Amino acid sequence: MNETNTANAPRVLPGALGQQALEDRELIQRNLEAVNARAMALADLRKAKLDAIAALQREIVECDAAIAACGVEREDLIAMDDALAEQYRALERILIRRAGR
């Protein structure tokens, strides 16, 4: 018996069907390439985001160290900042009222 194994052989479709199959295959290939390019771009964005987060974390550590070196508690500094901000807003309201006279 002379049997040929055609299960793994590429199928050749006649005429328009063959042409459509080639076009579909090319479209699928282009779509896969586009998906891969997007995945790589997303990976680059994720890395950039993680790098930015790490930089911000380093800055926070540096700021906390500078605050500690001044001998001021962080919470006290925040409270002072809030108090100064309220004083600024009060001054701003006074100036606005005076300007309206």
Quick one: 22 and 44 in the same domain? yes
Query: What pTM was estimated for this model as a whole?
Result: 0.48
Same domain as 97, residue 63: no
Q: Note whether 60 and 89 are same-domain residues.
A: no
Q: 64 and 91, same structural domain?
A: no
**For the chain, how many structural domains are there in total?**
2
52 shares a domain with 18: yes
* 101 found inside a domain: yes
Based on the domain organization, do 66 and 77 belong to the same domain?
Answer: no
The string of pLDDT tens digits covering residues 42-65 is 999 999 999 999 999 999 899 888
Q: Classify each residue of 15-35 as buried b or exposed e, where b means 16 or more C-beta atoms within 10 Å of its C-beta.
A: eeeeeeeeeeeeeeeeeeeee
CB-CB contact of 77 with 87 (8 Å): no
Give me the pLDDT at residue 78, please. 82
pLDDT tens-digit series, residues 6-29: 556 566 556 777 888 889 999 999
Domain, as residue range, for 87: 73-101
